[in-house]
Structure 1
Amino acid sequence: MTVLEECLSPHVAMLQRDHVRLEWCAPYPVLERARSVAWTCFCRATVYELYEGAGRAFVRRTVQLDGGHEIHETAIRSIHETRAIWTGLLSGRAR
């Protein structure tokens, strides 16, 4: 069994040529009660998480580095819009 067969969370697909470029910003504590409802596998250097709370949502990107990690987030949008971004991210149509 390979490492990928052991993973329980999804992996982000290879980036497609005509992908949408997402704008990533420094984290902000606006949705303090937001919770992570979906995430990609932690076996990769970059992990994505879908956060939802109070009818709003955003995607968090964590790049795991040797000396720590870098966190960036998308703008807060409606849950519907952010889930569409999440689907695009997983399929390689957004990054």
Structure 2
Amino acid sequence: MIVLEDKCFSPHVAMAQRDHIRLDWRMPYRTVERVRPVAWTCICRATVYELCQGGGQAFIRRTVQLDGAPEARETPRWLVNIPKDQG
């Protein structure tokens, strides 16, 4: 479940549900040229999640905003089915 708070414009991730699926986080892979975030969580939290898409593939990027440099990890890519009338 995603929760919106009064002063934030992007959603916050709620606590994990009992039947959640644990994701495999990996070092960022050399990405395709045209990848873009299509959905994201609020940057007011220490951990930000982005659903990224490009080149017919999608993945989730997790960025932990530490005191030093931000640390990013990504899920493996999966193919995105684009409807024929939009592709």
Deviation at 1:30, TM superposition (A): 3.1
Higher relative contact order (CA 8 A, sep 6+): 1
RMSD of equivalent CA atoms: 1.2
**1:60 match:** 61
- Tell me, yes or no, if structure 1 residue 41 matches structure 2 residue 42: yes
- Tell me, yes or no, if structure 1 residue 71 matches structure 2 residue 72: yes
| 5+ residue gaps, structure 2 | 82-87
Identity of aligned residues (%): 61
CA distance in 2, matches of 1:30, 1:43: 26
How many residue pairs get aligned? The number is 77
* 4+ long deviations beyond 2 Å: none
* Counterpart secondary structure, 2:13: coil
CA distance in 1, matches of 2:35, 2:66: 25
Normalized against structure 2, the TM-score is what?
0.81
Bigger-Rg structure (1/2): 2
Deviation at 1:37, TM superposition (A): 1.0
Normalized against structure 1, the TM-score is what?
0.75
